[in-house]
Structure 1
Amino acid sequence: MSILSKFSFKDQAFKLRESAILDATTSVLGSKGYDLMTMDDVAGAVGISKPSLYKHFKSKEELVGEAMVRLLDGAIDQVAALDKALNPVEKLSALLAWALRVRLEGGLPFLPSTSPHVRDMLMRNVKYMLRVVKLNRQLEALVKEGQKAGLLNPALPSDVILYSYYARTCDPAVDYLQKFSKMASDDIVAHMLAVAFEGFHPR
């Protein structure tokens, strides 16, 4: 094996471990929350030592920041992959469906609104904030297009619609339905989309 291929293998192994660490972080955050999560929890979930974990991430803040950056990267990729033939509301609906499935599979909501500490920490994370600004601009444009086309209420400020949309990714109803109802994940997503875009009025 050449020196170059050895380095390539080590780099690939390092990235695979980092991905496993971020998966574990997402899982532990989902079950314990930021304040109760420890680096020991994450290392144990991955099956590595804490010193090995610190080779990848220097602190809990950095680790959680990277987990949230990865989530936003996924959302931005989803927006880029949306069928251009869809109207603005259909695009928003498709993205929300993706976000809800991420939640149901143990992932994190877009906005960690339940933790002021996490919110403040992420506001200081430049990588995270750059992605937030990018995603926000894209979704704000879809909301305004939807209002202009008469598909969304033009009397509402666009910010009210946008932040209400974000709030649906954090809606605790998803967790309650998953734990206490007998609905399949696809049904939960479908019903949550109906509530988000149609309210409680009959069709």
Structure 2
Amino acid sequence: MSILSKLSFKDQAFKLRENAILDATTAVLGSKGYDLMTMDDVAGAVGISKPSLYKHFKSKEELVGQAMVRLLDGAIDQVAALDPGLNPVQQLAALLEWALRVRLGGGLPFLPSTSPHVRDMLMRNVKYMLRVVKLNRQLEALVRQGQKAGLLNPALPSDVILFSYYARTCDPAIDYLQTFSKMADDDIVRHMLTVAFAGMEAPAARATAA
């Protein structure tokens, strides 16, 4: 039985509306960014009044923080569901594929913004930071396992690999390809995974360099 089914009808309706608010927040953030997004934008996207919105979230900071917490919860769930039979790089690739598909569906990247205000706001959000630490620890372990197994370059600091990996989730190439190319989402994901893990050199060139 799901958590939602255990709630009263009133509480279920409240929770469903909260999820709709977070969906709308994600969409508005994706199109306008944090600075230009307003509570009016979100209320209008959901089809509720602004006072009704404030019954769920008291400020734009709280609203965006919860949207990011939900994203990280999804990522942590994906890590828990990874096939243990896959090697560390395959597991990293599977998670990145999920993240890219979230982006293509209008979702948010792992790294939400380079804005100092947004960064400071999220760093004050305890729920968000706890999840960041947990996810970072899990992915760092996969990176180190990949390096130890010779699947990832052991000469690179693990932080370089890890934060380059995170950056792929907010790569603007996704937006450009989705808007201007004629590729299907599956092809965009496949090519972005190739660039992330194999680079852009032709296999023959890599063999010659080696």
Q: TM-score, normalised by structure 2?
A: 0.93
Question: For 2:129 and 2:85, how far apart are their aligned partners in 1?
Answer: 30
The equivalent of 2:140 in structure 1 is: 140
Amino acid at match of 2:168: R
The equivalent of 2:180 in structure 1 is: 180
| CA deviation vs aligned residue, 1:86-134 (integer Å, no higher than 9, x gap) | 0000000000000000000000000123322111100000000000000
Q: Does structure 1 residue 31 correspond to structure 2 residue 31?
A: yes
The equivalent of 1:71 in structure 2 is: 71
Question: For 2:159 and 2:41, how far apart are their aligned partners in 1?
Answer: 38
Question: For 2:12 and 2:70, how far apart are their aligned partners in 1?
Answer: 18
| CA deviation vs aligned residue, 1:125-151 (integer Å, no higher than 9, x gap) | 000000000000000000000000000
The equivalent of 2:121 in structure 1 is: 121
Q: Does structure 1 residue 162 correspond to structure 2 residue 162?
A: yes
The equivalent of 1:10 in structure 2 is: 10
**What is the SS of the residue equivalent to 1:71?**
helix
The equivalent of 1:130 in structure 2 is: 130
Gaps of 5+ in 2: 1-6, 204-210
After TM superposition, where is structure 1 displaced by more than 3 Å over at least 4 residues in a row? none
Amino acid at match of 1:132: V
**Residues 65-104 of structure 1: matches in 2 within 5 Å?**
65-104=65-104
Q: TM-score, normalised by structure 1?
A: 0.96
Amino acid at match of 1:20: A
Gaps of 5+ in 1: 1-6
Question: For 2:116 and 2:171, how far apart are their aligned partners in 1?
Answer: 17
Question: For 1:161 and 1:19, how far apart are their aligned partners in 2?
Answer: 33
Amino acid at match of 1:107: G
Question: For 1:202 and 1:78, how far apart are their aligned partners in 2?
Answer: 31
